């Protein structure tokens, strides 16, 4: 396949399920994006606006959301409640992207796209949710939405290689940045929990070593056109129908004849997908 970049999402997919990585890169995206993903994207684009102006945040939100109806937990009214709460809480002050960061059409004024040359065979790309200032310190802004308890999400994010990769990208522009400002929006409330935590430079180095090893394996599979399609972190659940959360390829995995389903679900044409999301999903 024609690989031209890697992202945290694709690295994670490969490490958890090479089959998911392969299908993501070779099948067209499923036609309809799920409501949870669209709501997450719209909220990521607009939440920092609400610190200044709730109406401006709604405008940005609706620009991504369109005229979808949503569901009980994800709809424009719910977004407005979140903005109103965040406007009052004022946990942080948003800062514009650092000078020199690339501009990408369609991104909000806070999101920061990056292309990281980490010594890999391919560039590592993604985008950061933003940069904020709290207590006189610049911090990486990271947002998660959840329908579960927020404390578990805070612990999970602190240990995630995702923030270490994001910090590596931000360090290219701000060499002395060391901390993450995490906001977890629980949709059931709404309720917003804030946490600030440091990312150790040794954790960043170890994460980049992990990335480098995955890169070598991916290039090796690609060179030999030999992908380990029977390995998956969620194999054991397939027979019970409880596959990895939000995996769009679950119907293929549950079928005895996935090739016959591909035209029905994905339009049939193989391609080299670049449709990846580095954030915007719910935990
Ligand atoms: S459903 Fe599970 S096994 Fe199938 S592609 Fe997704 S993660 Fe992999």
Summarised one tens digit per residue, pLDDT across range 78-105 is 999 999 999 999 999 999 999 988 888 8
Does the residue 1 lie in any domain? Answer: no
Q: How far is the CA of 18 from the centre of ligand 1 (A)?
A: 9
| Residue 65 shares a structural domain with residue 180 | yes
Q: How far is the CA of 256 from the centre of ligand 1 (A)?
A: 14
| Residue 214 shares a structural domain with residue 194 | no
Whole-number Å distance between alpha carbons of 156 and 281: 14
Q: How far is the CA of 280 from the centre of ligand 1 (A)?
A: 20
Residue 268 has pLDDT above 80, yes or no: no
Does the residue 283 lie in any domain? Answer: no
Q: Three-class SS of residue 149?
A: coil
| Residue 52 shares a structural domain with residue 164 | yes
Q: CA torsion 137→143→147→153, rounded to 10°? A: -60
| Residue 137 shares a structural domain with residue 184 | yes
Does the residue 126 lie in any domain? Answer: yes
Does the residue 274 lie in any domain? Answer: no
| Residue 64 shares a structural domain with residue 159 | yes
| Residue 43 shares a structural domain with residue 25 | no
- Does residue 247's CB lie within 6 angstroms of at least one atom of ligand 1? yes
Whole-number Å distance between alpha carbons of 88 and 49: 13
Per-residue pLDDT at 265:
82
- Mean pLDDT across the chain: 88
Q: How far is the CA of 232 from the centre of ligand 1 (A)?
A: 7
Last residue of a domain, one of 199, 220, 243: 199
| Residue 39 shares a structural domain with residue 21 | no
Query: Do residues 162 and 127 touch, judged by C-beta distance below 8 A?
Result: no
| Residue 159 shares a structural domain with residue 215 | no
Ligand 1 atom with minimal separation from the 13 CA:
7
| Domain membership of residue 250 as a residue range | 6-31+210-266
- The pick from 13, 17, 22 for probing ligand 1's pocket by mutation, whose C-beta has the most ligand atoms within 8 angstroms, reads 17
Taking only the tens place, the pLDDT of each residue in 34-68 is 899 899 999 999 999 999 999 999 999 999 999 99
Does the residue 204 lie in any domain? Answer: no
Does the residue 272 lie in any domain? Answer: no
Query: Do residues 132 and 96 touch, judged by C-beta distance below 8 A?
Result: no
Q: How far is the CA of 38 from the centre of ligand 1 (A)?
A: 21
- β-bridge partners, 193: 184
Does the residue 275 lie in any domain? Answer: no
Per-residue pLDDT at 28:
81
2 versus 132: the higher-pLDDT residue is 132
Q: How far is the CA of 253 from the centre of ligand 1 (A)?
A: 6
| Residue 95 shares a structural domain with residue 175 | yes
Whole-number Å distance between alpha carbons of 41 and 43: 5
| Residue 21 shares a structural domain with residue 154 | no
Does the residue 271 lie in any domain? Answer: no
- Residue 36: Cβ within 10 Å count: 20
Taking only the tens place, the pLDDT of each residue in 221-263 is 999 999 998 887 776 555 555 566 678 888 888 888 888 888 8
Q: How far is the CA of 150 from the centre of ligand 1 (A)?
A: 26
Whole-number Å distance between alpha carbons of 132 and 96: 8
- The pick from 232, 252, 262 for probing ligand 1's pocket by mutation, whose C-beta has the most ligand atoms within 8 angstroms, reads 232
| Residue 130 shares a structural domain with residue 46 | yes
Q: How far is the CA of 30 from the centre of ligand 1 (A)?
A: 15
- The pick from 244, 251, 262 for probing ligand 1's pocket by mutation, whose C-beta has the most ligand atoms within 8 angstroms, reads 244
The domain total for the chain is 2
- Does residue 18's CB lie within 6 angstroms of at least one atom of ligand 1? no
- Does residue 234's CB lie within 6 angstroms of at least one atom of ligand 1? yes
| Residue 120 shares a structural domain with residue 252 | no
Query: DSSP state, 282?
Result: B
Q: Which range, of 16-20, 156-160, 241-245, 259-263, averages the lowest pLDDT?
A: 241-245
- Does residue 139's CB lie within 6 angstroms of at least one atom of ligand 1? no
- Alpha-carbon dihedral sign for residues 47, 48, 52, 56: negative
Per-residue pLDDT at 91:
94
Residue 208 has pLDDT above 70, yes or no: yes
Mean pLDDT of 264-274: 58
């Amino acid at each position: 396949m024609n690989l031209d970049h890697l992202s945290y999402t694709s690295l994670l997919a490969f490490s958890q399920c090479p089959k998911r990585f392969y299908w993501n890169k070779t099948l067209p995206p499923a036609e309809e994006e799920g409501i949870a993903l669209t709501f997450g994207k719209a909220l990521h684009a607009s939440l920092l606006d609400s610190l200044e102006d709730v109406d401006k945040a709604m405008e940005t939100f609706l620009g991504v959301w369109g005229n979808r109806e949503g569901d009980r937990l994800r709809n424009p009214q719910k977004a407005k409640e979140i903005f109103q709460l965040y406007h009052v809480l004022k946990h942080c002050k948003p800062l514009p992207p650092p000078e020199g960061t690339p501009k990408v059409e369609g991104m909000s004024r806070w999101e920061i796209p990056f292309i990281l040359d980490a010594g890999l065979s391919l560039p590592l790309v993604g985008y950061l949710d933003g940069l904020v200032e709290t207590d006189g310190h610049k911090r990486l802004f990271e947002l998660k939405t959840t329908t579960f308890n927020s404390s578990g999400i805070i612990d999970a994010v602190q240990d995630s290689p995702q923030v270490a990769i994001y910090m590596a990208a931000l360090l290219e522009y701000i060499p002395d940045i060391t901390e993450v400002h995490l906001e977890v929006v629980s949709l059931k409330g709404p309720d917003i929990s804030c946490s600030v935590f440091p990312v150790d430079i040794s954790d960043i180095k170890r994460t980049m070593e992990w990335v480098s090893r995955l890169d070598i394996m991916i290039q090796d599979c690609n060179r030999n056109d030999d992908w380990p399609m029977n390995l998956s972190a969620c194999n054991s659940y397939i027979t019970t129908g409880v596959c990895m959360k939000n995996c769009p390829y679950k119907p293929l995995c549950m079928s005895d004849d996935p090739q016959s389903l591909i035209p029905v679900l994905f339009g049939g044409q193989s391609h080299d997908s670049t449709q990846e999301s580095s954030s915007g999903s719910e935990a």
